[in-house]
């Protein structure tokens, strides 16, 4: 609390003194009251010279009174305060009444002090009596408060969050920063005096009252995610923190409102990306697994899970440990180095052939695999590995190559036998036999087309019969042999060293024979044609064709093709197969288009390639021995009432076309007419 200020004119016993007097005579009445008063008193001449001063003023100035009494008082002030003080003193002398002002006291090397001066002139004594009050601490506090208020206002105005100040008693807005006005779309004057539910922040007045009640209890309320609709109808998501505090003895509520729409949208996008990423990994048609930036297995799809099935735990495990469980140390170190290189540099890696003996299974396996560095949903780098287990396929390729070699040798042997038979028959034949055969050939010339038709149909029936026989008898017999061999192998455990070694090769050979028989069955007559239809059968055949680098086979078809009967479907399938085989062997085409479409007369098949052209007339003549099957294709198509054509020209490739009616011409005549 400030000490009471004594006005100099009211001090008892004050009398005029000479210019050099510094203290009162102790005998004078009131001398002690002046000298020992807790407030600083000085007496000044009208010109501003210090005449008297008490002990409190000596402590305020910071020097003995003898050093500054009789001097001009302005010498004790800072330069900036001197002229204002002289004007202040002049006003006091002229007015003769008590006046007050504030100056900076700086003398005798002491830190500056802020003083408030109260002056009353005494014309009778030709002097002024002045009271000095030290306001340094108060002024510093006021300056700090002013700076704090300026800083607060700057922060308030420049904040990138919305800020509202509210009156707890009325729940109404008393102030808002510019960001809040932009966020809501209201002007500053429109916000003042409104409640929160009136600006779209809370759903209704009841919710607003509930928030204020909670604020009074807990002093703080936080809403993580509130919907906010601006004046223009824009929907946003905001985070609200409301605090109740006392400012200058008055309760104030401050609401900080942060627009989290972008953050929430980013979180939802991240969640969608994570779900999409996991879905893509899980549904990949090949084996697939993902390593994170810490080189740990983060995700794996079901196809790849089978390869790592012997390792537990798997997810989250260091990949170095995993590869050392699966492969020998030398292979494992090389694999880990390749993965780390791709993760560090982003350089992809692809291996078309990788083979090795598994450490955990003890068997040799072949893989095709590749690596790609990807950005994970959370933003860090990872490595994705795609792979295919091609062990069975490579075994089948090796078996096929051996079979092809055997087939070539067998064909050479058949040709040699045929040549010897021709020579032998030609030597034994006679002129009469030759004439009889010639006459017979002439008689049969007229029925050649009919015989050709029957031969084609017989061939199809024969293929079907052979397919059934192979499936129902030979395959069952071979499977029975496999079963017996398995029983024999288990029974021979008494002496495994000799018997197992002798039986195992035979068992593998029999299993291989079963696969060969199955393949022959599919080649003789594809079961898919009868079970699923023409379109799936052709698509499956195209997919199984060896894919030469740079060659593309496109297939399009209309569903109405399946309305054909089984015989016509088989004819179209044979035409497609023969045409694609010729293209693969002779045309060197890069692009081939196979199209099945419905035309007015029935179904049209077109096989068009961009390969080398050939002389259709020459290759279709009876004199040309290697006719590429064109005669057989024509006979098949015409046998079911269709039309067959081949067009080939240099620079335009080759087109094989077959038009088949839905019904045979004879059958069409027998159909009843609609009324």
Query: Residue 198's pLDDT is what?
Result: 74
Q: Check pLDDT > 70 for residue 494.
A: no
Where is mean pLDDT largest: 96-110, 497-511, 625-639? Answer: 96-110
Per the model's pLDDT, the better-predicted residue between 552 and 282 turns out to be 552
| Confidence tier at 500 by pLDDT (50, 70, 90) | low
Which residue matches tokens 């079979």?
A: 403
C-alpha–C-alpha distance, residues 452 and 626, integer Å? 18
Instruction: Report cis status (omega within 30 of 0) of the bond before 313.
Output: yes
Query: Residue 606's pLDDT is what?
Result: 93
End-to-end Cα distance, the chain: 121
Angstrom distances, CA of residue 50 to CA of 66, 232, 349: 11, 71, 96
Per the model's pLDDT, the better-predicted residue between 26 and 332 turns out to be 332
Q: Maximum CA pair distance of the chain?
A: 185
Q: If DSSP codes are grouped into helix, strand and coil, which group holds residue 252?
A: strand
Instruction: Dump pLDDT digits (tens) for 79-131.
Output: 989 999 998 888 888 887 778 888 999 888 888 889 999 998 888 778 898 99
Query: Residue 513's pLDDT is what?
Result: 72
**In the CATH scheme, what is the code of domain 528-670?**
3.30.565.10
**In the CATH scheme, what is the code of domain 159-259?**
3.30.450.20
C-alpha–C-alpha distance, residues 342 and 181, integer Å? 51
What's the mean pLDDT in 12-27? 41
Q: Check pLDDT > 50 for residue 384.
A: yes
Element (H, E) at 299: strand 297-300
What's the mean pLDDT in 242-254? 81
Q: Check pLDDT > 70 for residue 279.
A: no
C-alpha–C-alpha distance, residues 547 and 109, integer Å? 100
Query: Residue 188's pLDDT is what?
Result: 79
Q: Check pLDDT > 80 for residue 142.
A: no
C-alpha–C-alpha distance, residues 511 and 92, integer Å? 127
Instruction: Dump pLDDT digits (tens) for 34-58.
Output: 788 888 999 999 889 999 999 888 8
484 φ, ψ to 5°? -65, -40
What's the mean pLDDT in 620-627? 52
SS (H, E, C) 208-223: HHHHHHHHHHHCEEEE
Per-position b or e across 42-61, b if 16+ CB within 10 A of its CB: bbbbbebbbbbbbbbbbebb
Neighbours of 268 (CB within 10 A): 10
H helix intervals, 254-356: 261-282, 302-307, 319-326, 329-345
C-alpha–C-alpha distance, residues 389 and 381, integer Å? 26
C-alpha–C-alpha distance, residues 658 and 647, integer Å? 12
Q: Check pLDDT > 80 for residue 364.
A: yes
Closest CA to 112 of 104, 103, 120, 122: 104
Query: Percent of the chain at pLDDT above 90?
Result: 9
Query: Residue 585's pLDDT is what?
Result: 81
What's the mean pLDDT in 364-387? 84
Closest CA to 210 of 200, 226, 221, 199: 221
Contacts of 68 (CB under 8 A, 6+ apart): 50, 53, 61, 75, 76, 107
Query: Residue 138's pLDDT is what?
Result: 82
In whole angstroms, how large is the CA radius of gyration of the chain?
A: 54
Q: Check pLDDT > 70 for residue 670.
A: no
Do the beta carbons of residue 54 and residue 35 sit within 8 Å?
A: yes
Query: Residue 605's pLDDT is what?
Result: 92
Cα 261 to chain centroid distance, Å, stands at: 19
| Confidence tier at 245 by pLDDT (50, 70, 90) | confident
Contacts of 440 (CB under 8 A, 6+ apart): none
Query: Percent of the chain at pLDDT above 70?
Result: 75
What's the mean pLDDT in 400-405? 87
Q: Helix, strand, coil shares of the chain as percentages rounded to 5? A: 50, 25, 25
Domains 8-139 and 159-259 share a fold: yes
Superfamily of domain 8-139 in the CATH hierarchy: PAS domain (3.30.450.20)
Query: Residue 613's pLDDT is what?
Result: 79
Domain ranges of the chain: 8-139, 159-259, 266-389, 434-523, 528-670
Q: Check pLDDT > 90 for residue 404.
A: no
Q: Check pLDDT > 70 for residue 471.
A: no
What's the mean pLDDT in 660-672? 57
Superfamily of domain 266-389 in the CATH hierarchy: PAS domain (3.30.450.20)
Instruction: Dump pLDDT digits (tens) for 534-547.
Output: 899 889 888 888 77
Query: Residue 270's pLDDT is what?
Result: 66
Instruction: Fill in the DSSP letter of residue 296.
Output: B
Do the beta carbons of residue 257 and residue 239 sit within 8 Å?
A: yes
Q: Is 653 left (phi over 0), alpha (psi -120 to 50) or beta?
A: left
- Structure tokens given for 613: 């052209």
- Structure tokens given for 174: 């008393």
| Confidence tier at 9 by pLDDT (50, 70, 90) | very low
Instruction: Fill in the DSSP letter of residue 235.
Output: E
Do the beta carbons of residue 565 and residue 572 sit within 8 Å?
A: no
What's the mean pLDDT in 21-44? 68
| Confidence tier at 1 by pLDDT (50, 70, 90) | very low
Closest CA to 584 of 596, 592, 593, 574: 592
Beta-bridge partner residues of 647: 655
Instruction: Fill in the DSSP letter of residue 122.
Output: E
Instruction: Fill in the DSSP letter of residue 318.
Output: B
SS (H, E, C) 2-58: CCCCCCHHHCCCCCCCCCCCCCCCCCCCCHHHHHCCCCEEEEEECCCEEEEECHHHH
Closest CA to 374 of 436, 250, 290, 258: 290
Exposed/middle/buried for 17, CB within 10 Å: 0-12, 13-18, 19+? middle
Neighbours of 509 (CB within 10 A): 9
Q: Check pLDDT > 80 for residue 78.
A: yes
What's the mean pLDDT in 16-33? 49
Name the average pLDDT for the chain: 77
342 φ, ψ to 5°? -65, -40
Q: Check pLDDT > 80 for residue 575.
A: yes
- Structure tokens given for 206: 């009841």
Contacts of 303 (CB under 8 A, 6+ apart): 284, 285, 286, 287, 288
E-assigned strand segments in 514-642: 552-557, 591-599, 602-609
Region of poorest pLDDT, from 61-65, 448-452, 525-529 = 448-452
Contacts of 447 (CB under 8 A, 6+ apart): none
Neighbours of 673 (CB within 10 A): 4
Find the angle CA(515)-CA(518)-CA(519) to the nearest 5 degrees: 90
Q: Is 183 left (phi over 0), alpha (psi -120 to 50) or beta?
A: alpha
Instruction: Dump pLDDT digits (tens) for 413-467.
Output: 888 898 888 888 877 777 777 677 777 776 666 556 555 665 666 577 667 767 7
353 φ, ψ to 5°? -150, 115
Q: Check pLDDT > 50 for residue 472.
A: yes
| Confidence tier at 68 by pLDDT (50, 70, 90) | very high
Instruction: Dump pLDDT digits (tens) for 161-190.
Output: 778 888 888 878 888 888 777 777 777 787
Which residue matches tokens 């609609």?
A: 674
Per the model's pLDDT, the better-predicted residue between 573 and 8 turns out to be 573
Contacts of 385 (CB under 8 A, 6+ apart): 288, 289, 290, 291, 339, 369, 370, 371
Does pTM top 0.75 for this prediction? no
What's the mean pLDDT in 392-408? 85
Which residue matches tokens 């390729």?
A: 397
Q: If DSSP codes are grouped into helix, strand and coil, which group holds residue 65?
A: helix
Instruction: Dump pLDDT digits (tens) for 205-222.
Output: 677 777 788 878 888 888
């Amino acid at each position: 609390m400030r000490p009471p200020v004594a006005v100099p004119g009211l001090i008892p016993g004050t009398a005029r003194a000479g210019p050099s007097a510094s203290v009162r005579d102790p005998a004078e009445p009131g001398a002690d009251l002046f000298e020992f008063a807790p407030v600083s008193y000085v007496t000044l001449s009208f010109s501003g010279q210090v005449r008297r001063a008490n002990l409190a003023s000596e402590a305020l100035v910071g020097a003995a009174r003898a050093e500054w009494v009789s001097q001009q008082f302005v010498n004790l002030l800072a330069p900036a305060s001197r002229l204002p003080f002289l004007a202040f003193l002049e006003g006091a002398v002229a007015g003769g009444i008590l006046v007050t002002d504030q100056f900076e006291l700086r003398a005798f090397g002491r830190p500056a002090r802020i003083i408030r001066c109260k002056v009353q002139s005494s014309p009778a004594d030709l002097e002024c009596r002045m009271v000095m009050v030290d306001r340094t601490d108060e002024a510093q506090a006021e300056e700090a408060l002013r700076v704090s208020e300026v800083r607060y206002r700057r922060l308030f105005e420049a904040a990138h969050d919305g800020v509202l100040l509210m009156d707890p008693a009325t729940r109404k807005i008393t102030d808002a920063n510019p960001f809040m006005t932009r966020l809501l779309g209201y002007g500053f004057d429109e916000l003042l005096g409104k409640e929160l539910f009136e600006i779209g922040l809370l759903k209704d007045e009841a919710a607003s009252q509930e928030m204020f009640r909670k604020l009074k209890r807990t002093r703080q309320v936080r809403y993580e995610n509130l919907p906010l609709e601006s004046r223009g109808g824009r929907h946003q998501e905001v985070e609200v923190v409301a605090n109740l505090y006392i400012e200058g003895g008055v309760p104030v509520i401050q609401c900080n409102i942060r627009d989290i729409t972008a953050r929430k949208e980013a979180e939802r996008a991240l969640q969608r990306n994570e779900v999409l990423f996991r879905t893509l990994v899980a549904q990949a048609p090949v084996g697939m697994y993902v390593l994170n930036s810490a080189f740990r297995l983060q995700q794996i799809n079901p196809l790849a899970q089978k390869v790592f099935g012997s390792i537990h735990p798997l997810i989250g495990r260091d990949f170095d440990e995993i590869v050392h469980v699966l492969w020998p140390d030398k292979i494992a170190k090389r694999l880990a180095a390749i993965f780390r290189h791709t993760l560090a540099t982003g350089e992809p890696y692809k291996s078309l052939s990788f083979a090795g003996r598994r450490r955990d299974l003890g068997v040799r396996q072949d893989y095709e695999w590749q690596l790609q560095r990807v950005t994970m949903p959370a933003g860090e780098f990872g490595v994705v590995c795609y792979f295919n287990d091609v062990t069975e396929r490579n075994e089948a390729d090796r078996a096929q190559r051996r079979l092809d070699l055997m087939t070539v040798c067998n064909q050479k042997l058949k040709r040699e036998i045929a040549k010897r038979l021709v020579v032998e028959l030609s030597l034994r034949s006679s002129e009469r036999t030759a004439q009889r055969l010639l006459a017979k050939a002439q008689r049969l010339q007229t029925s050649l087309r009919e015989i050709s038709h029957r031969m084609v149909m017989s061939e199809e029936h024969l293929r079907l019969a052979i397919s059934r026989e192979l499936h129902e008898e030979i395959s069952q017999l071979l499977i029975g042999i496999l079963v017996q061999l398995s029983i024999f192998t288990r029974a021979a455990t008494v002496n495994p060293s000799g018997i197992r070694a002798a039986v195992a090769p035979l068992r593998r050979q029999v299993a291989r024979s079963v696969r060969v028989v199955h393949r022959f069955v599919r080649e003789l007559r594809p079961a898919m044609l009868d079970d699923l239809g023409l379109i799936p059968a052709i698509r499956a055949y195209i997919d199984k064709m060896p894919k030469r680098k740079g060659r593309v086979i496109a297939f399009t078809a209309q569903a109405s093709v399946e309305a054909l009967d089984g015989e016509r479907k088989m004819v179209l399938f044979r035409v497609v197969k023969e045409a694609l085989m010729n293209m693969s062997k002779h045309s060197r085409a890069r692009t081939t288009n196979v199209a099945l479409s419905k035309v007015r007369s029935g179904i049209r098949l077109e096989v068009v390639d961009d390969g080398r052209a050939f002389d259709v007339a020459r290759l279709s003549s009876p004199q040309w021995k290697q006719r590429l099957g064109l005669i057989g294709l024509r006979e098949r198509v015409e046998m079911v009432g269709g039309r067959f054509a081949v067009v080939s020209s240099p620079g335009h490739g080759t087109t094989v076309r077959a038009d088949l009616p839905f019904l045979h011409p004879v059958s069409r005549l027998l159909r009843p007419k609609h009324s």
